[in-house]
Structure 1
Amino acid sequence: MRHARGYRRLNRTHEHRKALFANMCGSLIEHEQIKTTLPKAKELRPIIEKMITLAKRGDLHARRQAASQLKQDKYVAKLFDILGPRYKERQGGYIRIMKAGFRYGDMAPMAIIEFVERDTSAKGAGDKARVEAELNAAD
């Protein structure tokens, strides 16, 4: 029987799993679409949906709760300034998981996890801005 087996352990300690999902939440908030393994994507969905629900509330307590789980303040800012208002009228289901075949090295099932109604220009925007700033600094 499966009593008290509420989540996938993903062969990691509690601290490692907590850090993994904090980093994955940040990456998903920043890029609005990431590619990962299917079990990780399925475990990330309830975590990020709770973050969006906090962002929809938008008060100081919700902001501090989100900041305690996310690693950087820029993710909290984007979550509350952009994503919260975007999904204000939506009653859940902010995340879409699409199967993306199998990884070449170990045949792990892969998935693309993304926000519903995502901004397609957000993917890679931070990296493009960083490269542009480096080129301008070199000149």
Structure 2
Amino acid sequence: MRHRVAGRKLGRKTNHRRAMWRNMTVSLLAHGQITTTIPKAKSLQPFVEKLLTVAKRGDLAARRQAMKMLGQDFVIVRDGDDTEAPRNSYGEIDRKGGRLQGPRILKHLFEEVAPRYSDRNGGCTRIIKLGSHRIGDGADLCVIQLISEDDTGPQVAGQFSRRREKANRRMAFAAQLRKGGKAEAEVAEEPSAPAEEAPPEAAEEQAPEATDTGEATEGEGDKDKQ
């Protein structure tokens, strides 16, 4: 039993889970917000909060501790790395260079992100649940973002997804087929109208007439014979 065992395993080993937190943290610091599932966001939030608490100290020991939390592959430039590879403002290098993020993400954390929360004791991130679901397995999606001064909220509108568009078209087509199948079933279940039969009074009226005609025919035949 999981007595006093905190945290979520997320179906991963310890090293895999920590590597996932590091990757998501770097993306969160670089872009300000990321879209992920609710369990991942809730497990990532304490990791990011602790990192920001360390970064607010701003000294050399804090930088070394942040480097340890993010992993040396992200923030240390080793000998032999391709320093001439193209990189963005956060030090990103293509996979051929062997490094995804350079030391600029650490500089961005200590010089731009952490000072914004110097007067805040925790609560630097927030999770906003979205009304959409992941296409593959239907998992609930959310946005985890760094709280900003302008407080504009998550920027999730206007994102075009061809995969989402295809899924919506498939769902609409399936709903149309279901409606058509129900209509056909209703038509098949309707009983066919019975054939019109003559009322019993009309049948009784026609029977005596036929009898009278038969009797008259027989009488005429007897007269002819005589």
Answer yes or no: same fold by TM over 0.5.
yes
- Structure 1 residues 28 and 16: CA distance shift in structure 2, 3 A: same
**CA separation in 2, counterparts of 1:40 and 1:93?**
17
Largest Rg, 1 or 2: 2
**CA separation in 1, counterparts of 2:2 and 2:149?**
36
- Structure 1 residues 40 and 118: CA distance shift in structure 2, 3 A: farther
Listed one character per residue, the Cα deviations across residues 63-100 of structure 1 (whole Å, up to 9, x for unaligned) are 10101121232221111010111111112110010111
Aligned residues: 121
Does residue 78 (structure 1) correspond to residue 108 (structure 2)? The answer is yes
Aligned partner of 2:119 among 63, 85, 89:
89
Maintained 8 Å contact 1:32/1:118: no
Maintained 8 Å contact 1:87/1:94: yes
Unaligned ranges ≥5, structure 2: 76-102, 156-226
Identity level (%): 47
2:56 aligned counterpart, secondary structure: helix
Does residue 104 (structure 1) correspond to residue 135 (structure 2)? The answer is yes
Name the counterpart of 2:62: 62
- Residue 2 of structure 1 deviates from its aligned partner by 3.5
Listed one character per residue, the Cα deviations across residues 1-53 of structure 1 (whole Å, up to 9, x for unaligned) are 53142110000011100110011110000001000111010001010011111
**CA separation in 1, counterparts of 2:149 and 2:42?**
19
- Residue 102 of structure 1 deviates from its aligned partner by 1.6
Residue 69 of structure 2 aligns to which amino acid in structure 1?
Q
Residue 47 of structure 1 aligns to which amino acid in structure 2?
F
Residue 14 of structure 1 aligns to which amino acid in structure 2?
T
**CA separation in 2, counterparts of 1:106 and 1:74?**
36
Residue 82 of structure 1 aligns to which amino acid in structure 2?
E
Residue 54 of structure 2 aligns to which amino acid in structure 1?
L
Residue 11 of structure 2 aligns to which amino acid in structure 1?
N
TM-score by length of 1: 0.80
**CA separation in 1, counterparts of 2:28 and 2:111?**
15
Name the counterpart of 1:5: 5
Residue 31 of structure 1 aligns to which amino acid in structure 2?
H
1:53 aligned counterpart, secondary structure: helix
Residue 135 of structure 2 aligns to which amino acid in structure 1?
Y
| Larger displacement relative to structure 2 (37-46 or 68-77) | 68-77
